[in-house]
A and B are shown apart, each in its own frame.
Chain A
Amino acid sequence: KAGVTQTPRYLIKTRGQQVTLSCSPISGHRSVSWYQQTPGQGLQFLFEYFSETQRNKGNFPGRFSGRQFSNSRSEMNVSTLELGDSALYLCASSSDRVSSPLHFGNGTRLTVT
């Protein structure tokens, strides 16, 4: 079974631009979550989607948004990029049952200059 796939692997953007990151979950998984990882803040929860509905949201500004499609694939968007948005963005998927583990992709490394 293929794992969680994230594209692109690396991105370089300038301040003020927007960016869209893509995630394909493990086949059959309907829950998709996004996390931001930085050296200073560690791993922080962004949001979780299940069957195209956002079930949970972390404490990030409205510039961070996401969506999930009917095939469970997900995208997240960051608008008006700031230098502090430079991070590794990780997507994770899980089956329907809560208390089954989340499986992570290898992330998209976003650098904002």
Chain B
Amino acid sequence: GESVGLHLPTLSVQEGDNSIINCAYSNSASDYFIWYKQESGKGPQFIIDIRSNMDKRQGQRVTVLLNKTVKHLSLQIAATQPGDSAVYFCAENRGRSSYKLIFGSGTRLLVRP
């Protein structure tokens, strides 16, 4: 079926530590993946994306890893800050030459001072 799942619903980390948020997807034909951050009262904010022809992509303090063999996606946040506290969603595009994002259920990241 169509599902993108997350292994942990809540992740609590110490400020300054690295955070890793995981995601499993089910459609091996999906070729585009996006991570979003959502703060209370706001819409999802784009963080980083990756295409299926890549294994890793880095941004500012964030890295996305894609393992197509086991259909697993992860988001790594370096030196986690209080401002990183939010809900994080992975999304898989099921559209063909179009957009149809299937979202995971989300992981709440709590950063302890």
Against B, the Cβ 8 Å flags (1 = close, 0 = not) of A21-33 are 0000000000101
Which of B46, B100, B105 has a CB less than 8 Å from the CB of A42?
Answer: B105
**Cβ A98 vs Cβ B45 within 8 A:** no
Known: A43-B89, A48-B95, A55-B95. A102 touches B42 (CB 8 A): no
The answer to the question of A72 belonging to the interface, with a C-beta cut-off of 8 Å to chain B, is: no
**Cβ A104 vs Cβ B34 within 8 A:** no
For A91, the closest partner residue in chain B by CB is B43
Give every chain A residue within 8 A of B51 (Cβ-Cβ): 99
For A3, the closest partner residue in chain B by CB is B43
The answer to the question of A67 belonging to the interface, with a C-beta cut-off of 8 Å to chain B, is: no
**Cβ B99 vs Cβ A98 within 8 A:** yes
- Distance in Å: Cβ of A109 to nearest Cβ of chain B: 9
Against B, the Cβ 8 Å flags (1 = close, 0 = not) of A76-113 are 00000000000000101010001101111111000000
The count of chain A contact residues (Cβ–Cβ below 8 Å) is 25
Say whether chain A's binding surface is mostly helix, strand, loop, or mixed.
strand
Interface centre among B44, B46, B97, B99 (most CB of A within 10 A): B99
Measured in the bound complex, the distance between the Cα atoms of B43 and A90 in whole Å is 7
Measured in the bound complex, the distance between the Cα atoms of B45 and A48 in whole Å is 19
For A105, the closest partner residue in chain B by CB is B43
Measured in the bound complex, the distance between the Cα atoms of B98 and A52 in whole Å is 14
Which of B43, B98, B103, B106 has a CB less than 8 Å from the CB of A56?
Answer: B98
The answer to the question of A8 belonging to the interface, with a C-beta cut-off of 8 Å to chain B, is: no
**Cβ B98 vs Cβ A50 within 8 A:** yes
Measured in the bound complex, the distance between the Cα atoms of B106 and A56 in whole Å is 23
Give every chain B residue within 8 A of A56 (Cβ-Cβ): 95, 98-100
**Cβ B43 vs Cβ A102 within 8 A:** no
Measured in the bound complex, the distance between the Cα atoms of B44 and A107 in whole Å is 10
**Cβ B103 vs Cβ A42 within 8 A:** yes
The answer to the question of A16 belonging to the interface, with a C-beta cut-off of 8 Å to chain B, is: no
List 6 A-B pairs, Cβ < 8 Å: A44-B103, A92-B43, A92-B99, A98-B99, A99-B31, A102-B46
A residues lining the B interface (CB < 8 Å): 4, 31, 33, 35, 42-45, 48, 50, 55-56, 58, 90, 92, 94, 98-99, 101-107
